[in-house]
Amino acid sequence: MKGYLHLENGSSFEGEIDLGSDFKVTGEIVFFTGMTGYQEVLTDPSYQNQIVVFTFPLIGNYGINESDNESIRPQIKGAVFYECCSAYSHYEAKSSLKEYLKKWGIPFIEHVDTRAVVKQIRESGSMKAEFSTSKEKTTQHLIQEDIYQVSSDAIETYGQGKTHLVLVDFGYKKSIVTCLTKRGCRVTIVPIDNIDRIAQMQPDGIILSNGPGNPERYTYALSKINRVITKYPTLGICLGHQLVALSFGAKTKKLHFGHRGANHPVTDLKTNQVFITSQNHSYEVIANSLKPTDLIVRFSHINDESVEGVCHKTYPILTTQFHPEAHPGPTESEWIFDEFLNLVAVSKGDMLYA
Ligand SMILES: NC(=O)CC[C@H](N)C(=O)O
């Protein structure tokens, strides 16, 4: 049946929806530019509350498998496709993308002119949107509270290595844990509300995870976060990077339409090397706001010179706005985990990490 995507800036697009006639979904509309990696995007908790426009025109062609989930369920609010492929083909595929979205009740609209939608987002910025079978715009109802269900309830441990890391969970991606356990680490996942219990766990280092929403909503926890990260070697990833910066007094702001894709070029200002990164964020750390702090910009985005990571002048703290764990996207920045584990090993007094 015909469906309509309505954006907060007043523009509307026609497509096709195959859910019941009363249904309507609202959320913040963002776009992801990767040609592949849709399963990782759907299941990345950082996308909670967002309607994702996939810019590649054919999505779903290798189906859904059992290994590419970044969390236990799809997290996006809705999806917009040009074409969502039913005739998938891959030896590991267990179902089609459409079947998977329907099973979890995630609405999607297809046969939408996604290029035209993205032009609107690039002009007006990320904004509220809704799609439904109604031709009528109800954009005045789109301004809604951002409600996120993040962070696991329980403390869980993965891996058995000698190096013990605590991952503070704001909605972490599974691949971050995989990158650490495959390097011989034991990783304890700690919900943000249990941050006071970290010292009892005697970690060798801390990871602040990725997560959805505006980093400023964690303002209440910044002093606790700062206490922990100035005690142990710390790696901050995406939201975790933003929280490190905020906890030292820097500021964040919203990007016009965010960085979401698998081909974002970043320079390491320490070595002048450039690498291609996987990204998914709406907010950035304001470079100037770092000046009065002891944080130094370590990584910079080539396209817009936004801050892509920092390190601290004295503490063993390293952060990335991009995703070194990739999934989706290129794995060429995975060495960040090795550099961080080097910091951990040095601070433990061990030999340098191999
Ligand atoms: N992937 C993330 O951790 C995203 C961080 C934050 N929610 C942002 O959009 O900027």
Q: Is residue 165 part of a domain?
A: yes
Residues 119, 198: one domain?
A: no
The CA distances from residue 184 to 69, 159, 164, in Å, are 22, 7, 9
Residues 136, 163: one domain?
A: no
What is residue 72's three-state secondary structure?
Answer: coil
Q: Which atom of ligand 1 is nearest to the CA of 213?
A: 7
Tokens 């040609």 correspond to what residue? 35
| 280 Cβ below 6 A of ligand 1 | yes
Boundary (domain end) residue, out of 141, 164, 189: 141
Residues 69, 116: one domain?
A: yes
- The domain in which residue 217 lies consists of 156-348
| CATH number of the domain enclosing 130 | 3.50.30.20
CA distance 111 to 91: 27
| 211 Cβ below 6 A of ligand 1 | yes
Boundary (domain end) residue, out of 117, 141, 165: 141
Residue nearest to atom 5 of ligand 1 (CA): 239
Question: Closest Cα to residue 98, out of 44, 152, 106, 1?
Answer: 106
CA of 168 to the centre of ligand 1 (A): 15
Contact 86, 64 (CB under 8 A): no
What pLDDT sits at residue 153? 76
Strands 12-16 and 307-312: unpaired
Residues 289, 333: one domain?
A: yes
Residues 160, 89: one domain?
A: no
Q: Is residue 136 part of a domain?
A: yes
The question of whether 325 is a catalytic residue gets the answer yes
Residues 133, 160: one domain?
A: no
The question of whether 305 is a catalytic residue gets the answer no
Boundary (domain end) residue, out of 141, 172, 204: 141
Q: Which atom of ligand 1 is nearest to the CA of 240?
A: 3
Residues 202, 294: one domain?
A: yes
Residues 104, 227: one domain?
A: no
Residues 191, 216: one domain?
A: yes
Given ligand 1 and candidates 46, 71, 176, 252, which is best to mutate, with the most ligand atoms within 8 Å of its CB? 46
How many distinct structural domains can be found in the chain?
A: 2
The dihedral over CA atoms of 68, 283, 78, 29, expressed in degrees to the nearest 10, equals -140
CA distance 232 to 315: 8
CA of 47 to the centre of ligand 1 (A): 8
What pLDDT sits at residue 343? 97
What pLDDT sits at residue 148? 59
| 46 Cβ below 6 A of ligand 1 | yes
Q: Which atom of ligand 1 is nearest to the CA of 237?
A: 3
Binding residues, by number, are 46, 211, 213, 239, 242, 280, 283
CA of 195 to the centre of ligand 1 (A): 20
Write the pLDDT tens digit of every residue in 269-306. 999 999 999 999 999 999 999 999 999 999 999 999 99
Q: Which atom of ligand 1 is nearest to the CA of 279?
A: 1
Q: Is residue 151 part of a domain?
A: no
Residues 134, 173: one domain?
A: no
CA of 123 to the centre of ligand 1 (A): 21
What pLDDT sits at residue 354? 47
Q: Is residue 131 part of a domain?
A: yes
CA distance 220 to 68: 34
Question: Closest Cα to residue 107, out of 199, 14, 189, 27?
Answer: 27
| 238 Cβ below 6 A of ligand 1 | yes
Distance of CA 233 to the CA centre of its chain: 22
CA distance 177 to 246: 24
CA of 274 to the centre of ligand 1 (A): 22
| Tokens describing residue 167 | 């991952």
Contact 100, 76 (CB under 8 A): no
Q: Is residue 325 part of a domain?
A: yes
| CATH number of the domain enclosing 324 | 3.40.50.880
Q: Is residue 146 part of a domain?
A: no
Residue nearest to atom 4 of ligand 1 (CA): 281
The question of whether 311 is a catalytic residue gets the answer no
CA of 237 to the centre of ligand 1 (A): 9
Q: Is residue 353 part of a domain?
A: no
Would you say how long the chain is, in residues? 354
pTM value is 0.95
Binding residues for L-glutamine, by number, are 46, 211, 213, 239, 242, 280, 283
Residues of the chain with pLDDT under 50: 142-145, 353-354
Q: Which helix (H) or strand (E) holds 121?
A: helix 114-124
Residues 162, 118: one domain?
A: no
139-142: list long-range contacts, CB under 8 Å, 24+ apart.
139/6, 139/7, 139/8, 139/10, 141/26, 142/8, 142/26
| 60 Cβ below 6 A of ligand 1 | no
Q: Which atom of ligand 1 is nearest to the CA of 284?
A: 10
CA of 66 to the centre of ligand 1 (A): 25
What is residue 309's three-state secondary structure?
Answer: strand
The CA distances from residue 202 to 165, 231, 233, 318, in Å, are 9, 11, 12, 20
Residues 190, 320: one domain?
A: yes
Q: Is residue 69 part of a domain?
A: yes
| 210 Cβ below 6 A of ligand 1 | yes
Q: Which of 238, 241, 301, 311 is catalytic?
A: 238
